[in-house]
Amino acid sequence: MAMSRQYSIGVDLGGTNLRAAAIDREGRQLGKISGRTELSEGRDAVIEDMVEAIRGLQGQFGVEDLAGVGVAVPGFIEMKRGLIVGSNNLRQFDGFPVRDEISARLGKPVILENDANAAAMGEKWLGAGREVDDLVLLTLGTGIGGGVISGGRILHGAVGMAGEFGHMTVYPGGNPCGCGNDGCLEKHASATAVSAMAQLLKLGDQLSAADVFRIAQSGESEEARRARRIFESMGRALGIAIGNLVNIFNAPLYLLSGGPLPAWELFAPALLSEVERRSFTYRNAKTRIEKAALGSEAGLYGAAYLPLEEAGMAAVAP
Amino acid sequence: MAMSRQYSIGVDLGGTNLRAAAIDREGRQLGKISGRTELSEGRDAVIEDMVEAIRGLQGQFGVEDLAGVGVAVPGFIEMKRGLIVGSNNLRQFDGFPVRDEISARLGKPVILENDANAAAMGEKWLGAGREVDDLVLLTLGTGIGGGVISGGRILHGAVGMAGEFGHMTVYPGGNPCGCGNDGCLEKHASATAVSAMAQLLKLGDQLSAADVFRIAQSGESEEARRARRIFESMGRALGIAIGNLVNIFNAPLYLLSGGPLPAWELFAPALLSEVERRSFTYRNAKTRIEKAALGSEAGLYGAAYLPLEEAGMAAVAP
């Protein structure tokens, strides 16, 4: 059963789903295990599920050939200590030494990484960013995450908290945020913000971003027009933030991923027009703003890349 | 006269002043030449003045021992081609191959760099950032410039335009900017913005930031209170921008330099309170926001550092 090919395991520990994949050094997915993150059963049960998934893949593809494990999690990471220090989705893990716990159980090196950083790395390795050394990724979901690849590596900052684009202030005095700020990008441009705007415009109280997208596509009714204005508003907020990021990083590539991506045609024009107006750099330096390519697999690939990179084993994407 | 000690020459080509200094590999200033930038006499005359200043220092400290020349200029730089591509202060140089022109005349390597980037490097080498590998500098003047040191090196971005913090949008719909945007940081927090606010508050039509500072310090008069509100407003705009930068970079150190620094006690409280409120990262990761240490010499030192670094000759600050 065991193959004589070195590989690593990427784990994506989300608030809802827990996935683990064995990925070889050229980025081929050898196998994958998916399940739910059973937060209601407590932290130890989730750790146990994670270790079991990893062991399952190890059994299939060989203990010897496993270079290490990369774990992508939502929230702030303290890189040195391998801790999650702030995550709305994984509160039970706050301050818990996730990295060392898993590493001790498996006897393999484990790298803990923020999920958006891992996704940015995945896109750089195998996705939309293969041909650049610098890119900026924004992940649109319940909140908005971010990752920066600079010189081919994740920009971590002092303790690993760099890239928190969801809490950039785009509208001082704007919508209040649980972080204590107001006008945070994610309160004006996340999937959750789309739902809230739908409520404000009396389109419905429990609509998902996908529901609002469907309404927006339903022709020339008053409801459809209102729904389209929601995506324009989302695009403007994203444009203010991305305009700032272009001025700050002058990266060649900015990527967006996440649930609202199907609505690209509805929010991208407003986004691009804001960036165009707000960034001299955008107008003068070749800058692409595009959809990410790997979807929800990006974090899994990026997480798997990290132990391979650490071991000097990762291959350039074919 | 010539000393047998290797050194480099840093040049700071501003819109008003032209300075050149010979600096050794430990950061000691061996000699300096200062003059005015005679823009009215045309580009070639300014280049000639620059070359003459460099030759003067070369004559004093030895042609052999000169590792190279670093030139700091305001505006956008295209690093690869060594061009200034956008500078409000040096319009005559737009698209002119400054680097190659000087290099050809001197027969020495020349590195062209944005002035705020050079200042950030100077602060990292010899100033307030000696003990960190990552820092972010904002230079407050007629406009607002910025520089980022990441892993001990200047963050350039794709073509060298990274760090343009002056054109970050802090107030969408705010004051219009010559760059085409509105609400740019530098239209709400530069020395020029302080003057404009003084006019709006009827304190006077031609007041410099230093004038407004003097009024602000003049006790409890209505004018003094108004002048203090100007610096608070400046501090809030800076706080929005720096809060975003903290969320983006998670750097351990953010520095401010420039003319308005003496008013620190008047603008810093509002600045820090905005950052505190707007950045979870600031509240959870050790982050210092401080005055830069080298004043207007930072760019000169940073420019001199670049050819030393290129030649592998720069020494760590003592």
Tens digits of per-residue pLDDT, B134-148? 999 999 998 999 999
Residue A318: pLDDT over 60: no
CB atoms within 10 A of CB B67: 23
Residue A276 backbone class (left: φ over 0; alpha: ψ -120 to 50; beta: rest): alpha
Print the SS3 string covering chain A. Answer: CCCCCCEEEEEEECCCEEEEEEEECCCCEEEEEEEECCHHHCHHHHHHHHHHHHHHHHHHHCCCCEEEEEEEECCEEECCCCEEEECCCCHHHECCCHHHHHHHHHCCCEEEEEHHHHHHHHHHHHCCCCCCCCEEEEEECCCEEEEEEECCEECCCCCCCCCCHHHCECCCCCCECCCCCECECHHHHCHHHHHHHHHHCCCCCCCCHHHHHHHHCCCCCHHHHHHHHHHHHHHHHHHHHHHHHHHHHCCCEEEEEECCHHHHHHHHHHHHHHHHHHCHHHHHCCCEEEECCCHHHHHHHHHHHHHHHHCCCCCCCC
Considering the domain architecture, whether residues A75 and A166 belong to the same structural domain is answered as no
Within 8 A of A249 by CB-CB distance, chain B residues are 155, 157, 162
Considering the domain architecture, whether residues A233 and A286 belong to the same structural domain is answered as yes
Q: Does the beta-carbon distance from A86 to B284 stay under 8 Å?
A: yes
Residue A263 sits in a domain whose CATH number is 3.30.420.40
Considering the domain architecture, whether residues B212 and B283 belong to the same structural domain is answered as yes
Q: Does the beta-carbon distance from A164 to B281 stay under 8 Å?
A: yes
Q: What's the one-letter identity of residue B184? A: C
Q: Does the beta-carbon distance from B157 to A250 stay under 8 Å?
A: yes
Whole-model pTM: value is 0.94
Q: Yes or no: say if B74 and B315 are a contact pair by the CB < 8 Å rule.
A: no
Q: What is the dihedral of CA B39, B44, B50, B54, to 10 degrees?
A: -170
Say how far apart CA B261 and CA B306 lie, in whole Å: 26
Within 8 A of B172 by CB-CB distance, chain A residues are 170-171, 240
Is the CB of residue B170 less than 8 Å away from at least one CB of chain A? Answer: yes
Residue B2 belongs to a domain: no
Q: Does the beta-carbon distance from A161 to B244 stay under 8 Å?
A: no
Residue of A nearest to B87 (CA): A280
Residue of B nearest to A160 (CA): B250
Q: Yes or no: say if B121 and B306 are a contact pair by the CB < 8 Å rule.
A: yes
Is the CB of residue B249 less than 8 Å away from at least one CB of chain A? Answer: yes
B positions 60-79 inside 8 Å of A (CB): 76
pLDDT of A3 reads 46
CA angle (A185, A189, A195) in 5-degree steps: 130
Considering the domain architecture, whether residues B157 and B239 belong to the same structural domain is answered as yes
Considering the domain architecture, whether residues A279 and A151 belong to the same structural domain is answered as yes
pLDDT of B63 reads 94
B positions 80-119 inside 8 Å of A (CB): 85-86
Q: A76 phi and psi, to 5 degrees? A: -80, 140
What is the full DSSP assignment across B88-106?
SS-GGGBT--HHHHHHHHH
For A157, the closest of B156, B161, B249 (CB atoms) is B249
> Does the ipTM exceed 0.85?
yes
Within 8 A of A181 by CB-CB distance, chain B residues are 243, 277-279
Q: What is the mean pLDDT of chain B?
A: 94
- Between the two ends of chain B, the Cα-to-Cα distance in Å is 26
Considering the domain architecture, whether residues A287 and A152 belong to the same structural domain is answered as yes
CA angle (A151, A153, A157) in 5-degree steps: 105
Q: What does the radius of gyration of chain A's CA atoms come to, in whole angstroms?
A: 20
Is the CB of residue A164 less than 8 Å away from at least one CB of chain B? Answer: yes
Residue B3: pLDDT over 70: no
Q: What percent of chain B has pLDDT over 70?
A: 98
User: How many domains, chain A?
Assistant: 2
Considering the domain architecture, whether residues A87 and A190 belong to the same structural domain is answered as no
Considering the domain architecture, whether residues A281 and A140 belong to the same structural domain is answered as yes
Considering the domain architecture, whether residues B234 and B258 belong to the same structural domain is answered as yes
pLDDT of B109 reads 95
A positions 131-160 inside 8 Å of B (CB): 134, 146, 148, 150, 155-160
| Segment B41-70 mean pLDDT | 95
Which token pair is B184? 């740019």
Say how far apart CA A71 and CA A108 lie, in whole Å: 13
pLDDT of A317 reads 58
**pLDDT level of residue A299 (50, 70, 90 thresholds):** very high
Q: Yes or no: say if A103 and A128 are a contact pair by the CB < 8 Å rule.
A: no
CA-based nearest distance A249→chain B, Å: 5
SS3 content of chain B, % helix, strand, coil (to 5): 45, 25, 35
Q: What's the one-letter identity of residue A228? A: R
Considering the domain architecture, whether residues B109 and B179 belong to the same structural domain is answered as no
Strand partners, B76: B86
Q: Does the beta-carbon distance from B250 to A280 stay under 8 Å?
A: no
Residue of A nearest to B181 (CA): A278
Mutate to test the interface with A, among B161, B188, B246 (most CBs of A within 10 A): B161
Total count of residues recorded for chain B: 318
Q: Yes or no: say if B189 and B238 are a contact pair by the CB < 8 Å rule.
A: yes
Q: What's the one-letter identity of residue A253? A: L
pLDDT of A2 reads 43
* β pairing state of A253-258 and B7-13: unpaired
Helix axes B98-106, B43-61, angle to 10 degrees: 40
Residue B57 belongs to a domain: yes
Tens digits of per-residue pLDDT, A209-221? 999 999 999 989 9
Three-state DSSP class for B121?
helix
Q: What percent of chain A has pLDDT over 70?
A: 98
Residue A79 belongs to a domain: yes
CA-based nearest distance B82→chain A, Å: 15
Which token pair is A252? 């060649």
Tens digits of per-residue pLDDT, A57-109? 999 999 999 999 999 999 888 888 988 887 777 888 888 999 999 999 999 99
Q: Yes or no: say if A139 and A146 are a contact pair by the CB < 8 Å rule.
A: yes
Q: Does the beta-carbon distance from A250 to B170 stay under 8 Å?
A: no
pLDDT of A4 reads 55
User: Who's near B270: CB < 8 A, 6+ residues apart?
Assistant: B231, B232, B233, B234, B235, B236, B239
CB atoms within 10 A of CB A180: 14
Tens digits of per-residue pLDDT, A182-201? 999 999 999 999 999 999 99
Residue B255 belongs to a domain: yes
Residue A127 belongs to a domain: no
Residue A243 belongs to a domain: yes
Q: Counting Cβ atoms within 10 Å, is residue B312 exposed (0-12), middle (13-18) or buried (19+)? A: exposed
Q: Does the beta-carbon distance from A167 to B240 stay under 8 Å?
A: no
**pLDDT level of residue B317 (50, 70, 90 thresholds):** low
Considering the domain architecture, whether residues A301 and A288 belong to the same structural domain is answered as no
Say how far apart CA A61 and CA A6 lie, in whole Å: 9
Q: Does the beta-carbon distance from B280 to A76 stay under 8 Å?
A: yes
CA-based nearest distance B120→chain A, Å: 14
Is the CB of residue A161 less than 8 Å away from at least one CB of chain B? Answer: yes
pLDDT of A1 reads 45
Residue A1 belongs to a domain: no
Write out the H or E segment, with its range, that includes residue B226.
helix B222-249
User: Positive or negative, the Cα torsion across A276, A281, A285, A291?
Assistant: negative
Q: Yes or no: say if B266 and B216 are a contact pair by the CB < 8 Å rule.
A: yes
**pLDDT level of residue A290 (50, 70, 90 thresholds):** very high
Q: Of the ranges A77-91, B62-76, B231-245, which one carries the lowest mean pLDDT score? A: A77-91
Residue range of the domain that includes A21: 7-120+297-310
User: Positive or negative, the Cα torsion across B163, B184, A258, B249?
Assistant: positive
Q: What percent of chain A has pLDDT over 90?
A: 86
Say how far apart CA A73 and CA A231 lie, in whole Å: 28
Residue A149 belongs to a domain: yes
Three-state DSSP class for B83?
strand
**Residue B51 to residues A201, B74, B112, B247, B299, Cα–Cα distance (Å):** 65, 18, 14, 42, 18
Which token pair is B67? 């590792």
Say how far apart CA A69 and CA A308 lie, in whole Å: 9
Considering the domain architecture, whether residues B64 and B147 belong to the same structural domain is answered as no
Residue B88: pLDDT over 80: no
Which residue has 């008053």 as its token pair? A222
Q: B155 phi and psi, to 5 degrees? A: -80, 115
Q: Does the beta-carbon distance from A240 to B180 stay under 8 Å?
A: no
